[in-house]
Amino acid sequence: MASNDPLHGKTLERILQDLVATVGWKKMAQTIPVRCFMFDPSVKSSLVFLRRTPWARKQVEELYVQSLTQISRSNPVKPPAPDRPAAVLTPRPS
């Protein structure tokens, strides 16, 4: 049974990467004014801060849920690759 929770199965690192790709550090810093987003931002430093600061993590998760429509537009679902490459048809000599 599928979960209705949009955060289900998402790591904090994946959430941050998606937000940086769609929203950007500047907008994240304006929305959630914390030093790890405002000054020399990186995923690594943000992960350390967010794992130790529950209120900030909650705000990041809420921002992620709000921006899911942008994220889904920028990362369209691709069909799975076939198990083997498609056959190449070459014409037979007459």
Q: Is 3 inside any structural domain?
A: no
Give me the pLDDT at residue 88, please. 59
**What token pair was written down for 4?**
């209705």
DSSP class of residue 94 equals: -
User: How far apart, in whole angstroms, are the C-alpha atoms of residue 60 and residue 54?
Assistant: 10
Q: What percent of the chain is predicted at pLDDT more than 70?
A: 73
Cβ atoms 50, 91 nearer than 8 A: no
pLDDT tens digit sequence for 23-69: 999 999 999 999 999 999 999 999 999 999 999 999 999 999 998 87
Q: Which domain holds residue 50?
A: 12-73
* Number of domains observed in the structure of the chain: 1
Tell me, rounded to whole angstroms, the distance of Cα 42 from its chain centroid.
14
Domain CATH code at residue 37: 1.10.720.30
CB 37 within 8 A of CB 86: no
In-domain check, residue 78: no
